[in-house]
Amino acid sequence: MSRALPPARTPQTSAPARSRRTATAAVLLLTASLALAGCGGEDEPEEASPEAAAVEGETVLESGPVLNPLNGLELEAQPARPVLTVKMDNSSASAPQVGLSKADLVTEELVEGGITRLAVSYYSAIPENVGPVRSMRATDIGIVQPLKSTLVTSGGAAVTADRIGEAGIRVINESGTGFYRDESRSAPYNLFNTLTEVADKLKPVDPPEPYLPFSDEGDLPAGKPAKGLSAVFSQGHTTSFTFGDGVWTNTNSFAADGDTFEPETVLVLRVQVGDAGYTDPAGYPVPETKFTGTGAAQIFHDGEVVTGRWVKDGLDDTIALEVGGKEVSLPAGKVWMELVPAQGGSVQVQR
């Protein structure tokens, strides 16, 4: 259930699928490409002023609407910054979570101890404060690399930081811009970030390709009735949703009242999970989701579930969806993506 949001905090000053090419990509390429500022950098965003010049004898394509690559919805204008992905705690100790409602895409992943964390991605709107912010995992490479995200995280194990860096992912950690501690909470669940400060310091970059296949109405075949679902990640954690009024509501959410993320689609991808090769401070082995290859998929939309497969050729590739051997697209709208272990996890559908 949702939790009440605590009084606003004043931030403390901290130390300095085969890639699918769609018509959307043609629209998105109108944005100028500039380098992303470094973690916690002080450079101000540069103005992008693309100019179109018609060359005699060439066909000039009319630009269409600007679409959000995270959910397929139309944007008023191309954001002058990259996607921001925040690693957020997803346990009762994190309640209430702050900033979920403004996300464009939420991805839930298994971590050590059988619990989960959220990779919460923002593009169309940036909330002022987000958290509790927790550490990154190697699993995050396959989640954020196709988004060209800047990853906002408390930090991570040295082996994880090395792999994230080798993947070319920009990271803002606890020593960077916007971080503060909410003294009304217990550590480590009291680390928050003023995300608007981070966004203000980032330069424009080329927008990412559509993360999932989207179209206005989608082309999903008819599915079976589904009033709700429970995604079982382990014996210790299950995430449940019910459908109503066109959206899926997370019935065991830790979000603050009025700050929940209510997607039009819940996308359950069955994934292989291996050992990341190290343990956490409590001695739990750290799992790593292998977010590449192919696996079973369940698409929950409009009170129905459609069964198919997902395909992702590499960690930096976007995701394709297939039903009956045919590629399909999702209706434009917010998505909650569940990376449920193929072994040890399960999905229960309420009819």
pLDDT over 70 percentage in the chain: 82
Which backbone phi and psi does 329 adopt, to 5 degrees?
-120, 155
* CA nearest to 332, candidates 223, 220, 244, 218: 218
Whether residues 185 and 225 fall in one domain:
no
The answer, yes or no, to whether residue 12 has pLDDT greater than 80, is no
pLDDT of residue 99: 98
The answer, yes or no, to whether residue 29 has pLDDT greater than 80, is no
Element (H, E) at 158: helix 158-166
**C-alpha–C-alpha distance, residues 127 and 122, integer Å:** 9
Report the C-alpha dihedral over residues 145, 151, 153, 157, rounded to 10 degrees. 40
**Residue 2, domain member (yes or no):** no
**C-alpha–C-alpha distance, residues 282 and 46, integer Å:** 44
Amino acid letter, residue 142 = G
User: What is the rounded average pLDDT of the residues 284-295?
Assistant: 95
* Partners of 172 in beta bridges: 152
The answer, yes or no, to whether residue 25 has pLDDT greater than 70, is no
User: What is the rounded average pLDDT of the residues 197-226?
Assistant: 94
* pLDDT bucket at 63, cuts 50 / 70 / 90: low
Whether residues 222 and 179 fall in one domain:
no
Beta-strand relationship, 326-328 and 320-323: antiparallel
- Report helix, strand and coil shares of the chain as percent, to nearest 5: 10, 35, 55
Counting Cβ atoms within 10 Å, is residue 205 exposed (0-12), middle (13-18) or buried (19+)? buried
pLDDT of residue 31: 38
**C-alpha–C-alpha distance, residues 329 and 318, integer Å:** 13
Report the half-sphere exposure of 205 (CA within 13 A, side-chain side).
20
The DSSP secondary structure of 14-63, one letter per residue, reads -----PPP-HHHHHHTTSPP-PPPPTT--PPPPPP-----PPTTPPPPPP
pLDDT over 90 percentage in the chain: 77
Whether residues 236 and 341 fall in one domain:
yes
Counting Cβ atoms within 10 Å, is residue 288 exposed (0-12), middle (13-18) or buried (19+)? buried
Alpha-helical (H) ranges within the chain are 23-28, 140-144, 158-166, 195-200
DSSP-derived 3-state class of residue 342:
coil
* pLDDT bucket at 204, cuts 50 / 70 / 90: confident
Q: How many helices (H) and strands (E) does the chain have?
A: 4, 24
**Lookup: tokens for 191:** 């680390």
Look over the chain and give the mean of its residue pLDDT values, rounded to a whole number: 87
**Residue 144, domain member (yes or no):** yes
DSSP-derived 3-state class of residue 200:
helix
**Residue 238, domain member (yes or no):** yes
Whether residues 231 and 177 fall in one domain:
no
Beta-strand relationship, 228-234 and 237-244: antiparallel
DSSP-derived 3-state class of residue 129:
strand
Whether residues 173 and 261 fall in one domain:
no
Whether residues 225 and 106 fall in one domain:
no
* pLDDT bucket at 284, cuts 50 / 70 / 90: confident
The answer, yes or no, to whether residue 59 has pLDDT greater than 60, is no
Total number of domains constituting the chain:
2
The answer, yes or no, to whether residue 41 has pLDDT greater than 80, is no
Whether residues 229 and 126 fall in one domain:
no
What are the tens digits of pLDDT across the range 137-168? Answer: 999 999 999 999 999 999 999 999 999 999 99
**C-alpha–C-alpha distance, residues 334 and 105, integer Å:** 6
pLDDT of residue 42: 40
pLDDT of residue 74: 96
**Lookup: tokens for 64:** 């269409």
The answer, yes or no, to whether residue 37 has pLDDT greater than 90, is no
**C-alpha–C-alpha distance, residues 116 and 81, integer Å:** 28
Whether residues 195 and 219 fall in one domain:
no
- Find the CATH number of the domain harbouring 219: 3.50.90.10
Distances (CA, A) of 149 to 82, 84, 142, 277, 284: 6, 5, 11, 25, 28
**C-alpha–C-alpha distance, residues 44 and 201, integer Å:** 5
Domain boundary, last residue among 150, 177, 200? 200
Whether residues 74 and 142 fall in one domain:
yes
**C-alpha–C-alpha distance, residues 197 and 66, integer Å:** 25
pLDDT of residue 281: 84
pLDDT of residue 27: 35
**Lookup: tokens for 297:** 């998929």
* pLDDT bucket at 217, cuts 50 / 70 / 90: confident
**Residue 58, domain member (yes or no):** no
**C-alpha–C-alpha distance, residues 134 and 156, integer Å:** 9
Q: Which residue has the tokens 């931030």?
A: 11
What are the tens digits of pLDDT across the range 311-351? Answer: 999 999 999 999 999 999 999 999 999 999 999 999 999 99
pLDDT of residue 40: 41
**C-alpha–C-alpha distance, residues 241 and 225, integer Å:** 14
Domain hosting residue 236, numbered range = 214-277+285-350
